[in-house]
Structure 1
Amino acid sequence: MKNSSSSSSNMKSLYFQFTLFTDQGSLRYLFFSLCLLLYMTIVSANLAIILAVCLEKSLHHQPMYIFICCLSCNSLYGSVGFFPRFLMDVISDTHLIPQTACFIQIYIIYSYLGNELTLLTVMAYDRLVAICQPLHYHRKMTGRKVACLIFVSWLYPAFNMSVCVYKVSRIPLCGNKLNRVFCTNWPVVQLSCEDTTVMNILGGVSSVVSVSIPLTFVLFTYLRILLVCRRSSSEFRGKALQTCVPHIVTFVNYCVTVFCEMSLTRYKVTEKNTLFVVVLSLECLIVPPINNPLVYGLSLPQIRGVIFRGVRVFRKVSAGKQKIHREQEHLK
């Protein structure tokens, strides 16, 4: 009996258990269908943006659209790290995840959030140069510089999260229950057998610095843009507004969702507020990937035009195939 108990204990130590999933009976299949539809919508919308930018050669020479394409790629990256596992848990009776898979999910989700922030910061710099120094824009935003900015915007979060996940994975744990529906950093640290005060302070300082520097830079860029627009013609202000509003909406949306996620680190989960915690924690993984392609796809005429042309071509091809099929049936 002791060997069996010891084996069971060792088995549990290799897994984390999500505690916020509740037994919804047959309703879980409805939730699964809705979440799957949401996932397919995110994938389809972001793929439409990526294809529109990649297939339209005239957009290849405009850095703003390259950054938008990277933003959509990042949305797909974050969604792949979350939705497949979440969909499995929605219809599953047990909600256990291997520790290795949990740490991989933490890395993907947090690096996705970091990539989003750095890309939005780079896009703010692009708008600053385009609006405040339009005559020097093509000299400053060369293809090499754009590639370098994209590389750095991906490299910094990747390195930062690699160090963070490595440190968390080395912590000795005295439990396996996570009060979340997916793996996040703070609930895992709370399971530590040792005092993590120093790690919590360093993590908090790192988070504040990582968020405050890009936020300050973005606010500075838009202050400069606002001052330039005040001294310019109404036509210039209209064009500047057309390219800046999607970025402002996306950045504000990102800040709100990340603030909700960070607020959960100080929030004590009880049975009465389970739904509130689930909704709040899912915002950063659902809202930006849906918001970004809708905002840029509907607001920017270049992308909207490419997408609409693609839809028309697809309809013509489908109609042609149906016509050929009917003619073949008639000949039979």
Structure 2
Amino acid sequence: MINSSQVSYFTLGAYTDIGLLRYLCFIIIMFIYCLIICANVFLIVVICMNRSLHEPMYMFLCSLFATELCASSGLFPFLLLQILSDVHTVSVPLCFLQILCLYSYANMEFFTLAIMSYDRYLAICFPLQYNSRMTSKKVVALIAAALLLAVLEVGVLISLSASLQLCGNIINKVYCDNYTIVRLACSDTSVNNIYGMTYMFTLILGLIILILYTYFRILRVCFSGSKQTRQKAVSTCTPHLASLLNFSFGCFFEIVQSRFDMSRVPNILRIILSLYFLTCQPLFNPVIYGLNLTKIRVICKNLVFGRM
């Protein structure tokens, strides 16, 4: 038995030798990464530079884009390096740093989507009280609290995993995953499993229930309101629900890969599923929000075609 602190590296076993096709994969993933960077940076700049977008909904969107930008920048360069490399290993500190980046991103994404659903709930169900309830200070406090909780929860998860005694160092994925490291342990993992299950159900299930409840209340108001109210609700809530559904699918695929034996699944399919989790939101959200929210769409058109 060896302690995780005595392991010098982990081997990522999901990569396969694809010969010259690695360069094609590198170009495709690099193109996706550049798209993510350009789209998210562009929308962050648009929101920050236009006073008309300095409203709670757009500030939460800015936080969402910034989260996806940071997560992509923390994960994609390593992925690109591994594709070109012949030895697919990662040092222990970098492995845990990847886990911190990956899980914090997932946490922050769910927290932000929950906050945005609460924001839409206040805007549609309590329009006259919205400005007094959702102040700029409250917006900053909600974003800061989400970030702090996301990092703290993952910090506890990593500290529990780092103290485990391991029987191996092979991770059958294209990047580091906490539960895969726990499965390598020879020592008792009951505390890790209890915390992991509690963490997963309280975070994912709890936030999804909160989001569904707010949208149930929104639907009640819409069906009892005017046609204009229904149109406003649909135009602002549809992108949010689409984003939630898309990210939930990405998380589901990621959980399935971590919790079940995927040795019979072709490596290329496992890589595609992992890429879907990494790209489902950073690519999807700029498109869905940029095209569906009128203010952002109009300002983007003006910038692209040079009309002030």
Counterpart position of 1:166: 159
Is residue 167–residue 185 contact of structure 2 (8 Å, CA) maintained in 1?
A: yes
The CA deviation at 1:171 is: 1.3
Counterpart position of 2:128: 135
Secondary structure of 1:134's aligned partner? coil
Counterpart position of 2:276: 283
Alignment of 1:107-126 (within 5 A): 107-126=100-119
One-letter amino acid of the counterpart of residue 47, structure 1: V
Alignment of 1:292-331 (within 5 A): 292-313=285-306
Counterpart position of 2:35: 41
Counterpart position of 1:15: 9
Counterpart position of 2:211: 218
Q: Which of the numbers 71, 75, 80 marks the counterpart of 1:78? A: 71
Deviation track 1:249-291 (CA, whole Å, cap 9, x = no partner) reads 0111111111111122322122543233222233221111100
Alignment of 1:220-299 (within 5 A): 220-299=213-292
Give the direction of change, closer, same or farther, for the CA distance of 1:219–1:164 in structure 2 (3 Å limit). same
Is residue 14–residue 173 contact of structure 2 (8 Å, CA) maintained in 1?
A: yes
Q: Which of the numbers 39, 55, 59 marks the counterpart of 2:53? A: 59
Question: How far apart, in 2, do the equivalents of 1:76 and 1:100 lie?
Answer: 22
The CA deviation at 1:312 is: 2.0
Question: How far apart, in 2, do the equivalents of 1:191 and 1:218 lie?
Answer: 35
Counterpart position of 1:325: none
Is residue 118–residue 214 contact of structure 2 (8 Å, CA) maintained in 1?
A: yes
Give the direction of change, closer, same or farther, for the CA distance of 1:270–1:296 in structure 2 (3 Å limit). same
Secondary structure of 1:17's aligned partner? strand
Question: How far apart, in 2, do the equivalents of 1:198 and 1:65 lie?
Answer: 40
Question: How far apart, in 1, do the equivalents of 2:280 and 2:239 lie?
Answer: 15
Is residue 40–residue 69 contact of structure 2 (8 Å, CA) maintained in 1?
A: yes
The CA deviation at 1:194 is: 1.1
One-letter amino acid of the counterpart of residue 174, structure 2: V
Secondary structure of 1:97's aligned partner? strand
Question: How far apart, in 1, do the equivalents of 2:233 and 2:23 lie?
Answer: 47
One-letter amino acid of the counterpart of residue 116, structure 2: M
In the alignment, structure 1 residue 151 sits paired with structure 2 residue 144:
yes
Question: How far apart, in 2, do the equivalents of 1:171 and 1:245 lie?
Answer: 44
Question: How far apart, in 2, do the equivalents of 1:31 and 1:125 lie?
Answer: 40
Secondary structure of 2:306's aligned partner? helix
Question: How far apart, in 2, do the equivalents of 1:269 and 1:228 lie?
Answer: 45
Question: How far apart, in 2, do the equivalents of 1:153 and 1:205 lie?
Answer: 18
Secondary structure of 1:13's aligned partner? coil
Counterpart position of 1:320: none
Question: How far apart, in 1, do the equivalents of 2:77 and 2:265 lie?
Answer: 27
Secondary structure of 2:206's aligned partner? helix
Is residue 157–residue 192 contact of structure 2 (8 Å, CA) maintained in 1?
A: no
One-letter amino acid of the counterpart of residue 25, structure 1: G
Is residue 157–residue 195 contact of structure 2 (8 Å, CA) maintained in 1?
A: no
Question: How far apart, in 2, do the equivalents of 1:121 and 1:298 lie?
Answer: 21
The CA deviation at 1:209 is: 1.4
One-letter amino acid of the counterpart of residue 185, structure 1: N
TM-score by length of 1: 0.88
Secondary structure of 1:211's aligned partner? helix
More divergent stretch after superposition (262-271 vs 183-192)? 262-271
Q: Which of the numbers 22, 26, 33 marks the counterpart of 1:32? A: 26
- Deviating 4+ runs (over 4 angstroms): none
Question: How far apart, in 2, do the equivalents of 1:175 and 1:82 lie?
Answer: 24
One-letter amino acid of the counterpart of residue 57, structure 1: R
